[in-house]
Amino acid sequence: MTTLLHISDVHFGPPHRPEVARGVLALIGERRPDLVILSGDLTQRARPEQFLEARQFVDQISPPCLVVPGNHDVPLYRFWERMFTPFKAYRKHFDEELEPVLERDGVVIVGVNTAHGWTVKDGRISSSRLRRLEKQLEDVPSKAFKIVVAHHQLIPPPGFGSPRVLINAEEAVRVLARGGVELVLSGHLHQTYCATSEEYFRLGLPPVRILHSGTSTSSRGRGVERRLNTCNWIDLRESSWTLSHMLWEPKSGHFLERSRHTFARRTAAGDDSLIPCLPCELP
């Protein structure tokens, strides 16, 4: 069994909640996941001091931590930098690698950078990146549990105001489904949600389960998670995997399990069409 902690949108800067960040570190110390995934928006305004704070936070995470940037990690007001070198600050103060790859115990996790400097908040996956991703997935053993990490959403939660998704989302889903990806981890929306690609696109392809994390350590929760902080705990097994939605409880000072859901692996289900497509609704 491999265990993952999925956090997102930590937003070091004015909306960041230090006490909740300490709660994330405490959760890691108590449960000891094998891997931690941080799916973007490390900072609020891509300022050097905010990246340094985010770096110090990640340095306290003892298991390997895979990180991808989000749109807030691109300067908003430093216009020329945003247009021509949007990841200069991220690379200088945090990490040179924008799309890391991590392999462990039959699990392969591929980072995809969906942030860019041409719009304030929307994401995209370029056609050239999709071609490279397709090749990356072809080179991964078919029995591996393939996970892709991106900041922006491939599908929107129901009833979440705007139904917008990242540019080239449908093309990306085709590549992911044909490449055997079982799970996509993302953030951006500040609201937990889990569903499959087929519930939104109806392409007739093997469904890819897509899991959003809410904001794990900021005051910017949205929708049903307004002012709430959440993250996802994932247990991966040979024939199934279990998702636990974790909610920060200020009174107890801990992240506590809010709901739990178990899904069949593709390799165990045999026929991809038989994999259940059940949204993970929060009470």
Question: Residue 32's domain spans which residues?
Answer: 2-274
Does 173 reside within a domain? yes
Residue 46 lies in a domain: yes
Q: Residue 100, SS3?
A: coil
- Distance (Å, rounded) from C-alpha 186 to C-alpha 154? 9
> Which position has the higher pLDDT, 118 or 137?
137
pLDDT at 282 over 50: no
Q: Per-residue confidence at 161, pLDDT binned at 50, 70, 90?
A: low
User: Looking at the domain assignment, is residue 281 inside a domain?
Assistant: no
Output the pTM of the full model: 0.92
Q: Which residues pair with 68 in a beta bridge?
A: 39
How many structural domains is the chain composed of? 1
Residue 52, phi-psi category: left (phi > 0), alpha (psi -120 to 50), beta (remainder): alpha
The answer as to whether 280 is a domain residue is no
Report the DSSP pairing between strands 101-104 and 2-7.
unpaired
Percentage of residues of the chain with pLDDT beyond 70: 91
Look at residue 230 and tell me if it is in a domain: yes
Highest mean pLDDT (candidates 23-37, 81-95, 106-120): 23-37
Residue 283 domain-assigned (yes or no): no
Cα separation, 37 vs 63, in Å, equals 10
pLDDT at res. 47: 94
CA dist., res. 132 & res. 137, Å (int): 9
Distance (Å, rounded) from C-alpha 11 to C-alpha 217? 7
CB distance 254 to 170 below 8 Å: no
Q: Which helix (H) or strand (E) holds 132?
A: helix 127-138
Look at the alpha carbons of 55, 61, 63, 69 in this order and tell me if their dihedral is positive or negative: negative
Residue 191 near residue 212, CB atoms below 8 Å: yes
Helices 169-178 and 127-138 meet at what angle, rounded to 10?
10
The two three-digit tokens of residue 229, written as one number: 């902080």
Q: For position 97, what pLDDT does the model report?
A: 95
pLDDT digits (tens, 9 = 90+) for 22-68: 999 999 999 999 999 999 999 999 999 999 999 999 999 999 999 99
| pLDDT range class, residue 77, cuts 50, 70, 90 | confident
pLDDT by residue (tens digit) across 165-179? 899 999 999 999 999
Q: Is residue 88 part of a domain?
A: yes
3-state secondary structure of 79: helix
Q: How far is C-alpha 103 from the chain's CA centre? A: 17
Q: State the pLDDT at residue 156.
A: 85
For residue 187 the two structure tokens come to 């953030």
The CATH number of the domain holding residue 164 is 3.60.21.10
Position 278 scores a pLDDT of 42
For the chain, the average pLDDT equals 90
pLDDT tens column, 191-233: 999 999 999 999 999 999 999 999 999 999 998 899 999 999 9
> CA–CA separation, 232 vs 211, rounded Å?
9
- Tell me if 149 is assigned to some domain: yes
Q: How far is CA 180 from CA 59, 83, 109, 142, 240, in A?
A: 32, 35, 12, 7, 15
CA distance 141 to 207: 19
